[in-house]
């Protein structure tokens, strides 16, 4: 960006650019051009900062005796003019530096928030897959082994703070194996185990308010295992398996459908 564009950008930020200058600087913007996109982002960030500063700045009215004084032209000496030019140059550089620092700070804040969100999401996926792996490596994947939902559901009574819905979908190809307790972040959760041919499915059923960061938004995949989640209002259902995503979501539709 040349010095003229810098001056126009400053005028845009301060709201002092006329329509012609605004079109001259921002008119020929190409959405695919990296420089133009960068210029627009910089303008938006610095304008927002300028507006925020203007909203908070205190304005003071000049004393009457000062405003009553006649304006007198001051003859500027050579060294004074040179000092003023140097000061103006320093001020322009400081403004550019401040703008760059502000943009960098804002980008850092946004990037940090994104990284933290991704880290929280990834932590939930690791917990789910780790629990699934432990169940598969254990000689007993369930604490109560039964394909009868009327035997599995009462087993959770007194062991959990809630009563999870338990259904068998053997007619649709998903056979109930049994249930067990799982602990996530110091909270006991109902884990229902189903079998689809050679694949085991762990279905974690917990109150939606308790799901927190555990449930991914939509489908996820971690270390070769698929994770799918659905909510029906009261409960959140999270299925983990090496079964393909299509069949895993078919299973979740069955699990979250109203049952009489």
Looking at residue 104, its pLDDT comes to: 44
Least-confidence region, from 22-26, 192-196, 213-217? 22-26
Q: Which of 45-59, 130-144, 147-161 has the lowest mean pLDDT?
A: 45-59
Tell whether pTM > 0.75. Answer: no
Rounded average pLDDT over 161-183: 96
pLDDT tens readout for residues 19-60:
565 556 555 544 444 444 555 555 555 555 556 556 555 565
Query: pLDDT category, 136, cuts 50, 70, 90?
Result: confident
The 3-class secondary structure across the chain, one letter per residue, is CCHHHHHHHHHHHHCCCCHHHHHHHHCCCCCCCHHHHHHHHHHHHHHHHHHHHHHHCCCCCCCHHHHCCCCCCCCCCHHHHHHHHHHHHHHHHHHHHHHHHHHHHHHHHHHHHHHHHHHHHHHHHHHHHHHHHHHHHCCCCCCEECCCHHHHHHHCCCCCCCCCCCCCEHHHCEEEEEEEEEEECCEEEEEEEEEECCEEEEEEEEEHHHHCCCCCCCCEEECCEEEEEEECCCEEEEEEECCCHHHHHHHHHHHHCCCC
pLDDT at 67 (0 to 100): 59
* pLDDT value of position 251: 97
Higher pLDDT, 107 or 121: 121
Show Cβ contacts of residue 153 under 8 Å, excluding neighbours closer than 6 positions.
Answer: 163, 164, 165, 166
- pLDDT greater at residue 143 or residue 215: 143
Average pLDDT, the chain: 74
Domain borders along the chain are 119-256
Output the CATH code of domain 119-256.
Answer: 3.30.200.100
Is pLDDT above 50 for 112?
no
**Quick check: 205 pLDDT over 90?**
yes
Contact 237, 252 (CB under 8 A): yes
């Amino acid at each position: 960006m040349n010095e003229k564009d810098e001056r126009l950008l400053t005028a845009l930020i301060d709201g002092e650019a006329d329509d012609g200058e605004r079109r001259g600087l921002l008119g020929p913007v190409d959405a695919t051009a990296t420089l133009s996109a960068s210029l627009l982002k910089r303008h938006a960030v610095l304008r927002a900062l300028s507006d925020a500063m203007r909203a908070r700045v205190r304005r003071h009215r000049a004393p009457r005796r000062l405003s009553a004084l006649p304006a007198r032209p001051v003859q500027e000496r050579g060294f004074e003019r040179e000092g003023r030019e140097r000061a103006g140059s320093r001020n322009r550089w400081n403004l550019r530096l401040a703008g760059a620092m502000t943009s960098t700070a804002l980008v850092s804040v946004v990037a940090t928030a994104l990284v933290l969100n991704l880290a929280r999401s990834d932590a939930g996926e690791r917990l789910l897959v780790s629990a699934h792996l432990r169940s598969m490596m254990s000689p007993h994947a369930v604490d109560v082994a039964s394909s009868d939902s009327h035997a599995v559901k009462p087993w959770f009574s007194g062991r959990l703070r809630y009563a999870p819905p338990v259904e068998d979908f053997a007619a649709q190809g998903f056979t109930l194996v049994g249930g067990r307790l799982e602990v996530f972040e110091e909270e006991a959760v109902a884990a229902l185990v189903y079998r689809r041919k050679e694949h085991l499915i762990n279905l974690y059923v917990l109150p939606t308010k308790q799901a927190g960061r555990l449930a991914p938004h939509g489908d996820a995949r971690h270390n070769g295992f698929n994770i799918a989640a659905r909510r029906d209002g009261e409960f959140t259902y999270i299925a983990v398996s090496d079964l393909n995503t299509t069949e895993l979501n078919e299973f979740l539709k069955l699990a979250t459908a109203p049952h009489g």
